[in-house]
């Protein structure tokens, strides 16, 4: 009983039985072989779990909270998204990974790839990896808005939620993505598991844990400045982080749209955005998949 996928078939493709953007077709296999360095820092997540927020936190911690200096330049330049950079390079007929091999070290790299596609050296070189998870219903709702605004998905919300439950959205099953990292974590001390909920409700504590993991010490003043910088309202107003080019893209097909990448920024957004029967379906799925992991049930 697989729900139909209303996105055009030129947008999505199946690799390893996982739905991924079709634009990744030309490099998805070679990403496995890119060089990883021990002083890299990677932020890896399933989409919409608080990637951008965590990237900014990690970059600022590692760069002495340089908010007014280099830290004011666009996050996507300081902390590139490896797959999207590769898409851009392929479009210009360039080597998809030249940018990454030419990045100044220490490098900061974002990826949404599931484990099977990530560079194999991540597991031998073992750079620092911060993995971010989010409550599944909230992640699904946030992804629905992403699909609606950026992919012009026009199926019903219910259909999207069925796709999400079946792992038929891009990057595959949310539960698989998170479970795989959670199972690896005890074997790889270079992986830190962060949750959106802890960032939201215990930000100073989570930032202190990140500092310990990243071997950085911040002064009380730097920490105070960072906590304020990372508040939802401040990040929403920050053009380096909440990029206006995405808003312009959305406004081209929906003039007057209020869309911004940084959207609602709350926990439990599913409570007033997810139909009740789906809350039950999601809870059942999460209980089945995450009960033994002790996550989100
Ligand atoms: P919502 O759509 O629920 O608002 P990602 O960066 O992985 O795409 O995640 C995007 C989600 O993180 C969005 O969730 C966005 O609003 C939220 N987010 C980004 N910055 C945030 C912040 N400083 N505080 C709280 N939520 C934030």
**pLDDT value at position 6?**
47
What distance in angstroms lies between residue 89's CA and the mean position of ligand 1's atoms? 27
CA atoms within 13 A on the CB side of 154: 4
| Ligand 1 contacts CB of residue 142 (under 6 A) | yes
Q: Does residue 33 form part of some domain?
A: yes
| Ligand 1 contacts CB of residue 206 (under 6 A) | no
In which residue are the tokens 């939201």 written? 200
Going by alpha carbons, the residue nearest to atom 20 of ligand 1 is 53
| Contact call for residues 23 and 90 (beta carbons, < 8 A) | yes
The encoded tokens of residue 213 equal 């993991």
Cα–Cα distance for residue pair 115/240, rounded to 1 Å: 29
| Contact call for residues 203 and 196 (beta carbons, < 8 A) | no
- In tens digits, the chain (297 residues) has pLDDT values of 444 444 444 455 667 778 999 899 889 888 989 999 999 999 999 999 999 999 999 999 999 999 999 999 999 999 999 999 999 999 999 999 999 999 999 999 999 999 989 999 999 999 999 999 999 999 999 999 999 998 888 899 999 999 999 999 999 999 999 999 999 898 999 999 999 999 999 999 999 999 999 999 999 999 999 999 999 999 999 999 987 888 888 888 888 888 888 999 999 999 999 999 999 999 999 999 999 999 998
Strands 41-45 and 128-133: parallel
Residue of 47, 49, 52 best suited for mutating to test ligand 1, as the one with most atoms within 8 Å of CB: 52
| Contact call for residues 108 and 41 (beta carbons, < 8 A) | yes
Q: Does residue 259 form part of some domain?
A: yes
Q: Does residue 8 form part of some domain?
A: no
Q: Does residue 6 form part of some domain?
A: no
Please identify every residue annotated as catalytic: 112
| Ligand 1 contacts CB of residue 271 (under 6 A) | no
Q: Does residue 263 form part of some domain?
A: yes
Cα–Cα distance for residue pair 135/43, rounded to 1 Å: 18
Q: Does residue 297 form part of some domain?
A: no
What distance in angstroms lies between residue 26's CA and the mean position of ligand 1's atoms? 29
**pLDDT value at position 231?**
98
Residue spans of beta strands (DSSP E) within 75-208:
108-111, 128-133, 191-195
**pLDDT value at position 109?**
98
Angle at 42 between CA 40 and CA 43, to 5 degrees: 160
What are the Cα distances from residue 216, in Å, to 132, 192, 212, 249? Answer: 19, 15, 6, 38
The dihedral built from the CA positions of residue 200, 203, 205 and 206, taken in this order, carries a sign that is: positive
Q: Does residue 122 form part of some domain?
A: yes
Domain limits for position 161: 18-290
| Ligand 1 contacts CB of residue 230 (under 6 A) | yes
Q: How many CB atoms lie within 10 A of CB 209?
A: 14
CATH number at residue 167: 3.40.50.300
Query: How far is Cα of residue 49 from the mean position of the Cα atoms in its chain?
Result: 6
Q: What burial letters (b/e) apply to 147-164, b meaning 16+ CB within 10 Å?
A: bbbeeebebebebbbbbb
Query: How far is Cα of residue 215 from the mean position of the Cα atoms in its chain?
Result: 23
| Ligand 1 contacts CB of residue 148 (under 6 A) | no
- Say whether 255 sits in a helix, a strand or coil: coil
Query: How far is Cα of residue 51 from the mean position of the Cα atoms in its chain?
Result: 4
Domain count, the chain: 1
Residue spans of beta strands (DSSP E) within 154-264:
191-195
Cα–Cα distance for residue pair 181/224, rounded to 1 Å: 31
Q: Does residue 4 form part of some domain?
A: no
């Amino acid at each position: 009983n697989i729900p139909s996928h209303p996105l055009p078939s030129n947008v999505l493709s199946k690799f390893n039985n996982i739905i991924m953007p079709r634009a990744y077709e030309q490099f998805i296999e070679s990403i496995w072989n890119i060089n990883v360095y021990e002083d890299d820092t990677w932020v890896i997540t399933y989409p919409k779990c608080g990637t951008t927020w965590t990237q900014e936190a990690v970059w600022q911690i590692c760069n002495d909270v340089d908010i007014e200096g280099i830290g004011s330049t666009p996050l996507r330049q300081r902390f590139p998204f490896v797959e999207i950079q590769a898409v851009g390079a392929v479009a210009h007929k360039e080597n998809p990974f030249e940018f990454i091999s030419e990045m100044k070290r220490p490098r900061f790299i974002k990826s949404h790839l599931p484990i099977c596609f990530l560079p194999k050296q991540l597991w031998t070189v073992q750079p620092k990896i911060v993995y971010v998870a989010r409550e599944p219903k909230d992640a699904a709702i946030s992804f629905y808005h992403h699909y609606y605004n950026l992919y012009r998905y026009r199926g019903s919300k219910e259909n999207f939620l069925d796709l999400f439950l079946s792992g038929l959205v891009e990057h595959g099953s949310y539960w698989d993505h998170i479970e795989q990292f959670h199972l690896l974590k005890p074997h790889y001390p270079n992986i830190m598991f962060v949750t959106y909920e802890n960032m939201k409700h215990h930000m100073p504590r989570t930032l202190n844990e990140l500092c310990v993991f990243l071997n950085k010490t911040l002064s009380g003043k730097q920490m105070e400045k960072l906590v304020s910088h990372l508040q939802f309202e401040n990040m929403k107003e920050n053009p380096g982080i909440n990029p206006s080019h995405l808003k312009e893209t959305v406004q081209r097909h929906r003039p007057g749209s209020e869309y911004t990448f940084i959207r609602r920024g709350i926990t439990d957004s599913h409570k007033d955005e997810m139909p009740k029967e789906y809350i039950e379906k999601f809870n059942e799925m999460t209980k089945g998949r995450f009960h033994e992991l002790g996550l989100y049930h």
